[in-house]
């Protein structure tokens, strides 16, 4: 039973991995020139033109005709990868339409999430600092359920009267699928509270979650050669003292032991999920096709999940054998129409057409944060020892409409390729739409590897293994959490 006399601190204990000690942004490769420098200098106007040609409405990345196929990855992982993003990175300070930042300015940018897989998007700063997310009648339990305008939905995240979610990261209410995933983890925590105190349940949830990130999510989305290269190194180095570690190769831990968030990851590689998003999904048996932002239900982001749209995860994950489920969109350079025309609640009422496109934003943010080109990062990772095959300029430009779209740009994007675009092309060319290519995968393994090796993670606890009552089908997957919570 819950011990009411135990303290209920909500933060991780490892130095530098705690929400109480947030880090900043930084670069994985601070010595590489930016893409704009590689091009001999690119003005703000020319950068906007490049971002519009590739990523704007009607640009090369706009999947206007819904022509991109499926990957083999269950659609639920799209929203789980978004959920993980919201656990580890949040930039509210950089200027989308700003001039390229210097390395020292980037090092000063605060990351408002702890880069540590500690589920701060669930726990916030803990029950003492953020009591409004916690059940005051049952200490240690997270609140669930909403009532807005007289409509009750017990299977929703908690909300205030205006319908705004009372959760650790507001972005986990940006669409109803990620919002329902937030609910899933709130319910998972509450179920793990039975027979445990808050800190035990919190640690247990974090460990299960970290295990799923390393052995389920990353295995599905990464290039298999890079994954197999990195995972044994992560497992081994987690058991070593800091001075004896030889992996990850890049050092993104500062002298205060805080992990900084590399912009190559947050502005390019870990935005891979944007290509996995579809414009429409099944919600449940009654609503097998709803739009990501569906005007019929007013679900344009940041509002109550209507009770009839409660997500049945069997339609998005392999929860039951033989139950059909949707797959994520192929990983390629195309982004779904819903993401090229994002609604007001996500981008603001007065946003111009280009700013409504996530592809445009990713590319322009990459310019503003002085990301290196894809080619430069591929070479730098090769030099570190990763088994990287780079893609050629011909492979990058092998897209219908390339010549017309890129005509007149000041720098040929097939020769010097903005990092996000390069990574999406390598997923299409080398990953054949089923997973990321080697460069994106190596960036992911470097950054997740740093978190898993440096923080208090399940890898540091040789006695810990997933609870067999959760992982009933063998290896622990996201679907196990659904089965366990719904049992």
Residues that bind ligand HEM in the complex, under the rule CB under 6 A: 78, 81-82, 85, 89-91, 96, 174-175, 266, 270-274, 276-277, 339, 342, 346, 358, 361, 365
Least distance CB 443 / ligand HEM (angstroms): 12
* Residues facing residue 74 across a β-bridge: 327
Cα–Cα distances in angstroms (integers) from residue 317 to residues 283, 349, 481, in the given order: 12, 34, 11
DSSP secondary structure string for all residues of 317-352: S--STT---PEEEPSSS-EEHHHHS--HHHH-TT--
Pick between residue 38 and residue 338 the one whose CB is nearest to ligand HEM. Answer: 338
Handedness of CA 416, 417, 423, 425 (dihedral sign): negative
Pick between residue 85 and residue 223 the one whose CB is nearest to ligand HEM. Answer: 85
Alpha-carbon distance of 396 to 418, in angstroms, equals 11
Is residue 313 within 8 Å of 304, Cβ to Cβ?
A: no
Least distance CB 72 / ligand HEM (angstroms): 17
Pick between residue 42 and residue 109 the one whose CB is nearest to ligand HEM. Answer: 109
Helix (H, G, I), strand (E, B) or coil at 159: strand
Of 391, 371, 370, the closest CA to residue 382 belongs to 391
Of 369, 331, 337, 370, the closest CA to residue 353 belongs to 337
Least distance CB 358 / ligand HEM (angstroms): 5
* Residues facing residue 418 across a β-bridge: 373
Least distance CB 298 / ligand HEM (angstroms): 16
Pick between residue 11 and residue 362 the one whose CB is nearest to ligand HEM. Answer: 362
Pick between residue 196 and residue 346 the one whose CB is nearest to ligand HEM. Answer: 346
- Taking CB atoms, the residue at the shortest distance from ligand HEM is 273
Is residue 316 within 8 Å of 287, Cβ to Cβ?
A: no
Is residue 480 within 8 Å of 472, Cβ to Cβ?
A: yes
Pick between residue 122 and residue 342 the one whose CB is nearest to ligand HEM. Answer: 342
**CA angle (23 as vertex; 20, 24 as ends), nearest 5:** 145
Least distance CB 435 / ligand HEM (angstroms): 13
Is residue 207 within 8 Å of 458, Cβ to Cβ?
A: yes
Chain centroid, CA 29 distance in Å: 21
Least distance CB 424 / ligand HEM (angstroms): 12
Pick between residue 48 and residue 204 the one whose CB is nearest to ligand HEM. Answer: 48
Least distance CB 92 / ligand HEM (angstroms): 7
Pick between residue 113 and residue 483 the one whose CB is nearest to ligand HEM. Answer: 113
Least distance CB 261 / ligand HEM (angstroms): 7
Place of tokens 């001075």: 243
């Amino acid at each position: 039973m819950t011990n009411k006399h135990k303290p209920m601190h909500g933060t991780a204990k490892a130095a530098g991995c705690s929400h109480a000690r947030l880090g900043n942004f930084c670069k994985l490769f601070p010595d590489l020139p930016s893409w704009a420098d590689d091009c001999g200098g690119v003005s703000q106007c020319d950068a906007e033109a490049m971002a519009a040609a590739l990523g704007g409405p009607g640009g090369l990345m706009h999947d206007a005709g819904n022509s991109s196929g499926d990957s083999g990855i269950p659609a639920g992982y799209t929203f789980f990868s978004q959920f993980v993003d919201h656990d580890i990175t949040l930039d509210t300070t950089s200027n989308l339409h700003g001039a390229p930042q210097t390395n020292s300015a980037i090092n000063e940018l605060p990351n408002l999430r702890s880069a540590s897989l500690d589920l701060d998007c669930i726990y916030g700063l803990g029950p003492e600092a953020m009591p409004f997310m916690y059940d005051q009648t049952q200490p240690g339990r997270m609140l669930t359920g909403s009532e807005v305008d007289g409509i009750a939905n017990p299977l929703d995240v908690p909300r205030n009267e205006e319908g705004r979610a009372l959760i650790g990261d507001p972005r986990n209410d940006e669409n109803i699928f990620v919002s329902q995933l937030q609910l899933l983890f709130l319910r998972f925590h509450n179920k793990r509270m039975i027979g445990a105190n808050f800190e035990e349940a919190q640690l247990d949830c974090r460990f299960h979650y970290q295990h799923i990130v390393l052995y389920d999510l990353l295995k599905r989305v990464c290039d298999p050669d890079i994954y197999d290269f990195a995972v044994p190194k992560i497992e081994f180095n987690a058991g070593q003292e800091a001075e004896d570690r030889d992996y990850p190769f890049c050092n993104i831990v500062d002298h205060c032991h805080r992990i900084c968030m590399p912009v190559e990851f947050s502005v390019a590689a870990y935005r891979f999920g944007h290509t996995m998003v579809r414009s429409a999904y099944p919600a449940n048996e009654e609503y097998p096709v709803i739009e990501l932002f569906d005007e019929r239900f007013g679900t344009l982001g940041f509002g109550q999940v209507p009770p009839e749209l409660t997500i049945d995860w069997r339609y998005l994950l392999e929860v039951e054998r033989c139950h059909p489920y949707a797959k994520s969109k192929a990983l390629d350079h195309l982004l779904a129409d819903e993401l090229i025309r994002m609604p007001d609640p996500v981008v603001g009422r007065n946003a111009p057409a280009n700013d409504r496109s996530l592809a445009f934003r990713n590319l322009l943010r990459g310019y503003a944060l002085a990301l290196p080109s894809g080619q430069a990062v591929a070479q730098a990772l090769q030099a570190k020892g990763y088994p990287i095959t780079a893609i050629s300029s011909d492979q990058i430009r092998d897209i219908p409409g390339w010549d017309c779209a890129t005509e007149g740009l000041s720098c040929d994007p097939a020769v010097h390729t903005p990092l996000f675009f390069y990574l999406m092309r390598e997923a299409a060319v080398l990953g054949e739409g089923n997973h990321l290519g080697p460069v994106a995968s190596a960036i992911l393994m470097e950054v997740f590897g740093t978190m898993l090796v440096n923080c208090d993670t399940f890898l540091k606890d040789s006695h810990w293994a997933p609870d067999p009552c959760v992982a009933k089908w063998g290896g622990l997957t996201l679907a196990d959490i659904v089965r366990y919570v719904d049992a």
